[in-house]
Structure 1
């Protein structure tokens, strides 16, 4: 595909009403989106890294470090439902934005609701915690699908630049996660929980402002759809398969979908209600020794399979086979996220209770030097990008630039406070949240390297990438199982095992995660893309819920068997799944009918 010069690119952008100022060869609007996503991820991951730790920490009367003293089963039930809903609400948020709101207003609405959610969570009472999590779920529904939609619309006439734009965008995702977990986690564990949760809310609010004030940069990108847009959206986009015919949802389909949705949501809410408050709203569904909520989720899954199978048999052969391939990929995605998302639950508890985090003398000095480089070098690079953006857009969006200055002054101030405090301490205990930043750090470090492998002659088939992702991630858990082998009560594991585990988890993620959505877009007819993306995110949601349920069992399994046994579960299951999906490669290749 032919390249376009910066001058021509800028001129074409101006013709569309988009600010033609370029930063590092891309429109300034890309970097507004970059920083909006960065501050949202800062807030999301800053809160996420604290939640399980806060809920399961000991109750200390009158102390800013007092947790709620929940057991991991209760905390996992609540977090699992929260994580599941985070992947469900974007389906509805995307529909509302497409039909009525437009992408920019949807983003602002979502960001404002999430800001309110973070504000609620700064008051650590049960009512405000639940209100806060609810607001975050609803806000994410508006925010999550529409940031990438803005990016897609901005580059729709420049496909040759889209891959690079998405790479930059996802660097913003990981930069936000990195600094959010580092700084929110540090304040929470060194100053008090309120400060960690509160900081997440402050940056969510500032990120909302900088996006709102940047409207002149975007022109009409992300505006509410016009009547003409709605008419075009309503048209059925034909498949490249001449045998493919429209397959509208029947009344029976819609009724069954409604019933399975009710059962699924009832299970999701009943799980934490029954484990935390002892309220079982599904008790009447109990059959023998099977709990009512288990009956509900089995019924939901059975109805789901019936609807999927009944719809599949109504498609032509090529479309049906390709959809089956997508469903197989989605099935194995559940096993990946079920294990990978232990980083939000069991690995937080493991880092707090079972990892030797105490440093002094030379080891503390070395850690402080490494931590300083980890903090300062990325901050310098991102500050440089902010300076370039400010130079290009100061006259067009001065308030956006003012908010960005406040944001970065705040981040630099907190980072310097953190580094100074640690350097002046004679002995220190690494914060629990510090280990969670390893995932983002390793993604930033290795993403380009892995993408070059996929662009080379060594690019393997999708099934092999899936298998590699599952097996490589499993190696990380295998290292934890080995490191925890035979430890006695009171003895702690070296932190090197947890750092190595995060390295292999990240390499596994880089093998598998980027592949999924790409193959959905390639295999599914255009008129069905929204529905199948919804199914894909449902698989991820199920994986997240299972991760939290299993992660909540860390203490029970450790007490009954051993800590090593707990990690072996997440070693053996993904390896078996990975080998199985690799064995299915010939079958999947036939089902895909030439799609590569």
Structure 2
């Protein structure tokens, strides 16, 4: 069946699935397996580092483990600004996706060796690979949709974001189970992340022609039209000064992350001093570049910059999930069951949490296969292999749960709640935005961002209340898991209000000739957020001693509520700067 709307890409991409071009779902599954590898590895990284050597871990302190976590989760959002520029200028988005996926596969394979040298080398490959991969996916998606149909494009980003979180969900379950299971071990968890990244790359590679000219290598011949001419835009050339300042910013960012781990930074002033040069250089680059653009483009890019600034406050709190919230689940949450009835309830809930999303994903895979199997059989084959492995693993995990005598909720299980809520609620959010738009009462982008920050703050209110009974300085406790579940629910609802909306706004507000670069700039905010959030998290023990664990989580309540209020105050000005794009 062909769509009445003309989509970008090949003739094959005019076929639709759930009202969208089939190419969207090729991207959906590619992103899903990349997020599987990233989140699966992230779910066990801190646990691996703080585990005793007798269990295969490194026996690091919480602070040291969380600093490395900060460096890794921050740096994977720093390299996309360079990777995005390389994709725009030289490789094209499609080639960058493949190169990035291959580098990440190698990184995960090296991590499976479980030595300190392998740890740093593997993380290095992951950081560089992500730099190529991450800024190159969303521009391909954006070019498939007509510019005039912004509502359909918004819906596409929500569906794409479901793929992101489907990967989160499956990766945490599989890698978390393998890594913490005595029968397997950490190397199995890291290895599984690499395997699915490799299969995801093959699935994308063998279906890449479905995108036609979208994301292809730029034509750099002298007589070829420039990207600006191709899209009817005004070219703002990169000067040597621009390139030098951008390069300096990246170098300073890398040196900052290394410096945090190498030098003894025992005062606030030392910490501020080492990061200040990077902040000054990157802000200078952004401001000087913005001044060179035509007025409308400059204003719209200013909105992207402002939203990027506020998303820092969202992600620095949200990304506590893989750090301090993981420690809270491990050491401060009651995860064992006192009665058989409660254990059986968890077994049933866990089975539902795994089976329902997998049935939905498998259904989408079958629908996609029917559409593209004839044209791209190898892509369908490798995607099918992924699903067979996942179903077998899910079966084994649930079998063990139902036959375990001393059942305990795995620490990594709580991380799956975010992805489960995303998969369950994303379609409702998509319908809600459409209904509000139809009735002309849909909130603006800045207001949606403020909503997301406010809901995130509510989640940390839950954690602060849950931790209120824990004495200051306590290393262990047995708080009800209800507080963590509520926190993940509110965090997820906040994420749905802010993250897919952010991706869509970067696409709509950015000039097409620098689309991948602007996604790199947008992800730069995640670098600052993850790095800062991880460093704050590394002080969990010190802060808990002085103002309690509840006080520690309250820090994120204040930062979330405060930034939400400021965005509301700026809403009118930002809407004006968008020049009609809402």
TM-score when normalising by structure 1: 0.86
On the 8 A contact 2:459/2:491 being kept in 1, the answer is yes
Q: 1:339 aligns with which of 294, 301, 317?
A: 317
1:576 aligns with 2:562: yes
Q: 1:546 aligns with which of 507, 529, 532?
A: 532
Q: 1:273 aligns with which of 241, 252, 262?
A: 262
Q: 1:473 aligns with which of 456, 460, 463?
A: 456
On the 8 A contact 2:13/2:211 being kept in 1, the answer is yes
Per-residue CA deviations over 1:546-595 (Å, capped at 9, x if unaligned) read 11101111122112331111111111221122122222334434544554
Q: Secondary structure at the match of 2:344?
A: helix
Residues 515-524 or 539-548, more deviating: 515-524
Label 1:139 to 1:9 Cα distance change in 2 as closer, same or farther (>3 A).
farther
On the 8 A contact 1:102/1:224 being kept in 2, the answer is yes
The answer for unaligned runs of 5 or more in structure 2 is none
| Aligned mates of 1:484, 1:554 — CA distance in 2 | 13
Q: Which residue of 2 aligns with 1:123?
A: 113
TM-score when normalising by structure 2: 0.88
Q: Which residue of 2 aligns with 1:7?
A: 2
Q: 1:143 aligns with which of 133, 152, 167?
A: 133
Residues 422-431 or 464-473, more deviating: 464-473
On the 8 A contact 1:18/1:219 being kept in 2, the answer is no
Per-residue CA deviations over 1:350-409 (Å, capped at 9, x if unaligned) read 110101110240011011111111111222222233333334444433333332332222
| Aligned mates of 2:242, 2:7 — CA distance in 1 | 44
| Aligned mates of 2:20, 2:249 — CA distance in 1 | 45
Residues 335-344 or 465-474, more deviating: 465-474
Label 1:544 to 1:206 Cα distance change in 2 as closer, same or farther (>3 A).
same
| Aligned mates of 2:268, 2:368 — CA distance in 1 | 62
Label 1:421 to 1:584 Cα distance change in 2 as closer, same or farther (>3 A).
same
| Aligned mates of 1:221, 1:119 — CA distance in 2 | 31
On the 8 A contact 2:462/2:483 being kept in 1, the answer is yes
Q: 1:508 aligns with which of 494, 516, 522?
A: 494
| Aligned mates of 2:566, 2:482 — CA distance in 1 | 31
Mapping 1:133-532, distance limit 5 Å: 133-155=123-145, 159=149, 162-191=153-182, 192-215=185-208, 217-218=210-211, 221-226=214-219, 231-235=225-229, 252-274=241-263, 290-291=269-270, 294-309=272-287, 321-359=299-337, 360-455=339-434, 456=436, 457=439, 458-488=441-471, 489=474, 490-524=476-510, 532=518
Label 1:460 to 1:381 Cα distance change in 2 as closer, same or farther (>3 A).
closer
The answer for unaligned runs of 5 or more in structure 1 is 1-5, 240-244, 281-285
On the 8 A contact 1:264/1:296 being kept in 2, the answer is no
Label 1:365 to 1:8 Cα distance change in 2 as closer, same or farther (>3 A).
closer
On the 8 A contact 2:88/2:515 being kept in 1, the answer is no
| Aligned mates of 2:140, 2:295 — CA distance in 1 | 35
| Aligned mates of 1:26, 1:188 — CA distance in 2 | 37
On the 8 A contact 2:179/2:187 being kept in 1, the answer is yes
The offset of 1:165, in angstroms, is 3.9
On the 8 A contact 2:3/2:15 being kept in 1, the answer is no
| Aligned mates of 1:409, 1:312 — CA distance in 2 | 49
| Aligned mates of 1:335, 1:190 — CA distance in 2 | 35
Q: Which residue of 1 aligns with 2:28?
A: 34
Residues 75-84 or 304-313, more deviating: 304-313
The offset of 1:112, in angstroms, is 1.2
Task: Report the structure number with the largest CA radius of gyration.
Answer: 1
On the 8 A contact 1:442/1:506 being kept in 2, the answer is yes
| Aligned mates of 1:17, 1:590 — CA distance in 2 | 39
The offset of 1:145, in angstroms, is 2.2
The offset of 1:335, in angstroms, is 1.2
On the 8 A contact 2:88/2:517 being kept in 1, the answer is no
Q: 1:109 aligns with which of 91, 99, 102?
A: 99
| Aligned mates of 1:484, 1:420 — CA distance in 2 | 33
The offset of 1:440, in angstroms, is 1.0
The offset of 1:431, in angstroms, is 0.7
Label 1:317 to 1:93 Cα distance change in 2 as closer, same or farther (>3 A).
closer
Q: Which residue of 1 aligns with 2:47?
A: 53
| Aligned mates of 1:427, 1:142 — CA distance in 2 | 45
The offset of 1:454, in angstroms, is 2.9
Label 1:123 to 1:430 Cα distance change in 2 as closer, same or farther (>3 A).
same
Count the aligned residue pairs. 570
